[in-house]
Amino acid sequence: MNAPDLKLVVNKTDPTAGQPQGGESPLGGQRPASAAACGGSRFHESARAQVAGAATYIDDIPEVRGTLHAAPVCSPVAHGTLLGLDASAALAVPGVRAFISAQDIPGDTTLAAFAHDEPVFAQGTVQFLGQVGGLIVADTVMAARRAARLVKWNVQTLPAVLSVLEAHAQQSYVLPPVHVKRGDAQAALQRAPHQLEGTFEVGGQEHFYLEGQIAYVLPLEQNQWWVYSSTQHPGEVQHWVSHALGLHNHAVTVECRRMGGGFGGKETQAGHLAVWAAIAANQLKCPVKLRLDRDDDFMITGKRHPFAYHYRAGFDDTGLLCGLQLEMLANCGFSADLSGPVADRAIFHADNAYFLEDVAVSSYRCKTNTQSHTAFRGFGGPQGVIVIERILSDIARTLGLDPLDVRLRNLYGIEERNTTHYQMKVEDNILQPLISQLALTSRYRERREQIAAWNAQSPVIKKGIALTPVKFGISFTATLFNQAGALVHVYTDGSVQVNHGGTEMGQGLNTKVAQIVADELGVPFERVLCTAADTSKVPNASATAASSGTDLNGRAAQFAARTVRNNLAAFVAGLDGVGAGSVRFEGGQVITEQSTRRFEDVVGAAYANRIQLWSDGFYRTPKIHYDKTTLTGRPFYYFSYGAAVSEVAIDTLTGESRVLKVDILHDVGHSINPAIDIGQIEGGFIQGMGWLTTEQLVWNDKGYLQTHAPSTYKIPATGDIPAHFKVDLWPEANREDNVHGSKAVGEPPFMLGISVLEALRDAVAQAGGQPEAMNAPATAEEVLRAVAP
């Protein structure tokens, strides 16, 4: 198959169309008539520094004199009774200072995770191959790593549970099963004119962040600690470290200026490294840095949860679903971590864009002797969406219908058929017009006919095409996390500093927050600086996750800036004898009917008159609630929507495949920064495509992860980008009162990658194969097996 020419086509609607056009703020002062920062494509705030190599990551921070380096001591077996660890050979290596184990933990020897089921270091039992039993601390990184491999494990081996099906058969679970139902699925299946039953599995996914896991811990005076952590959740790292050291939270400060990628892998599991380094630093009374090399990162940290499914679907002659019984088995690894909410979100998104009238979903959170799987972009949503998309495609093939028509037949309605299986009403439904527009602009129907003609005359290369949508709920499903705080400081020269509880991992959060604050104060974007996430500034912050970073932190920063603006508006109103509501802030000026002043002049005068020039802001997401015992209620503030058309080709002799064309129409509300949003859509789609095509995790029968390096684990590369890659933004604002009318963008596009898998299955079907037999990822071997079973 010849590689197509690489052309990137990116379209977007006018980013200023329909943007708020000013007016009086409910708290005083006027917004600018045209937004100066929001709605425009601004450079990422760190872009120039990153390109120049001047952006500081944790391993770039100058090391304090006396800093030592730690390396993990990892279990060589997947399951067994731990009888002891012999570090004598390691301690004899020049430069090695200490072996740190569970006996050196001054606080709780179990991590402060919500399930309280994961030891800091392996004790009594080894539960996966790669589990950390202790640390070697040395003068240099390489001395520590070499010595760590010399520690001898005395383990009495036990049988290991390595597959989710085996775990389910043994009722080996990290958490109790959860069942959600509506109506009578069994009766509906019996009444249905047609039935379809199937099983399949979808693999996990390695986060493969460019910056690996790292922590650098410095002791301060009076048993206080400063922790540099590459983490999406500094507050949790603070809690975990203080818990392990036996201290109150206020004794530990965690800072994160930026991460080199996270994708969910640094939501909880960054805490492990910080705890391990802190224990070593406490024992040795000196700074300790712990940075995993890529192989150890693979072997120690959790992945996206692999899932296995069994379903029975009933449907009529038009493809309308009549009833569905669905069983989902989540491979959680050896501990709970975030498996409960991940599996819950898979339940929430098992409907995707479709109304399920009579449905029963059973979710089993299975315990295996592998790494403890964790958050990953989509957080269980992709594992829910993929199953309903597969079912609808198979229904269409069974009936000889176009899969798009079956999807359209089952969409949520507006006035009826508009309530989810967890009892949330879908109030902002744009699925029908969005999908119809994409089908038209991508020429889906015409291309489907062309592909059929191609396949009729091409004996070896077969093509396929699929259009799949996404409806993704935005909010943490744990309601308490839907809150955020921020600080805005205006200095006497008119410059502005912002600190908020979110973390920057390359997604552009700080850039968007700076845009929001700039517009609120009416100053140029360049005058606003966002600083490092810091638990001593904004306490108890939620993780930067669930695609809610801008929704929460941007709104909190906006409220803080608004308070300062109102203080200035009242001051200027007093000077000019006008109403505070008539004072305008725009273009770096403060304008009334009587005068126009530079922003910095107003700030200087306000300071001289003892006017407060800083404020905090707090935001809590409205309307959300749900019963976590029944998984019913309104867990999400709103939904984000999108759809993708993917065209692929497969080689029926080798199983190799290529994505030829991708057209995406995605809903981001009124985009705060179209360039960043389109980048997130592109990156999310490609990452989702990788999950379902090339990124295969393979454990052998001993529990050893064989795909633990770039040589064996293949993420998409530049050559995998489709020749035609077109992204459009849906122009409508968020119907809920979200910051600047925007919508979240981090996770929803990931699920558009499912269109690639469905297009591959379509190609397999057109080759006369068995697409219903395919698992994911659809590697060349998997495609070949389905084409020639």
Mind listing the pLDDT tens digit for each residue in 432-454?
Answer: 999 999 999 999 999 999 999 99
DSSP 71: E
More confident of the two residues 6 and 141: 141
The confidence band for 606, taking pLDDT boundaries of 50, 70 and 90, is very high
**For residue 14, is pLDDT > 80?**
no
Provide mean pLDDT across the span 114-136: 97
Which of 652, 580, 545, 589 minimizes the C-alpha distance to 266? 545
Nearest to 70 by CA among 291, 251, 238, 257: 291
Higher pLDDT, 472 or 29: 472
User: What integer is the mean pLDDT of 147-158?
Assistant: 98
Q: Are 328 and 363 in contact (CB under 8 A)?
A: yes
How many whole angstroms separate alpha carbon 250 and alpha carbon 110? 20
Q: How far apart are CA 472 and CA 202, in angstroms?
A: 20
What is the per-residue pLDDT for 680? 98
Question: What pLDDT is recorded for position 629?
Answer: 87
Kindly state the average pLDDT of the residues 322-327.
Answer: 98
Residue 713 predicted with pLDDT over 70: yes
Structure tokens, 499: 């600190």
What mean pLDDT is reported for the chain?
A: 95
Question: What pLDDT sits at residue 1?
Answer: 39
> Which pLDDT band, with edges at 50, 70 and 90, does 789 fall under?
confident
The mean pLDDT value for 755-761 works out to 98
Band the pLDDT of 4: cuts 50, 70, 90: very low
For residue 65, with 0-12 CB atoms within 10 Å meaning exposed, 13-18 middle and 19 or more buried, which class applies?
A: exposed
Note the pLDDT of residue 29. 41
Answer whether residue 9 shows pLDDT above 70: no
> What is the rounded CA–CA span in Å between residue 117 and residue 750?
31
The predicted pLDDT at position 30 comes to 42
Which pLDDT value is given to residue 31?
Answer: 42
pLDDT tens digits, one per residue of 351-369:
999 999 999 999 999 999 9
pTM exceeds 0.75, yes or no: yes
Q: How confident is the model at residue 24 (pLDDT cuts 50, 70, 90)?
A: very low
The answer to whether the peptide bond before residue 777 is cis (omega within 30 degrees of 0) is yes
Q: What is the pLDDT of residue 34?
A: 47
Residues involved in catalysis: 747
Whether 320 shows a pLDDT value over 50: the answer reads: yes
Cβ count within 10 A of residue 25 = 18
pLDDT class of 628 with cuts at 50, 70, 90: confident
634: nearest Cα among 646, 623, 647: 623
Rounded mean pLDDT of 570-587? 97
Contacts of 95 (CB under 8 A, 6+ apart): 138, 139, 140, 143
Dist CA 742 CA 764 (whole Å): 39
Which residues does residue 549 pair with via DSSP β-bridges, in sequence order?
none
Is 19 a residue whose pLDDT tops 80? no
Give me the mean pLDDT over the 37-54 stretch: 96
Q: What is the mean pLDDT of residues 285-292?
A: 98
- Stretch 767-774: mean pLDDT, rounded? 97
* Res. 786: pLDDT tops 50: yes
Q: What amino acid occupies position 705?
A: L
Tokens at 314, concatenated: 């009933």
% the chain with pLDDT above 90: 95
Question: Per-residue pLDDT averaged across 287-303, rounded?
Answer: 98
**Which DSSP category does 423 fall into?**
S
Q: What is the pLDDT of residues 221-273, one digit of tens each?
A: 999 999 999 999 999 999 999 999 999 999 999 999 999 999 999 999 999 99
Query: Which residue is associated with the tokens 């057109």?
Result: 766
Residue 318 exposure: Cα atoms within 13 Å on the Cβ side:
7
pLDDT score, position 17: 37
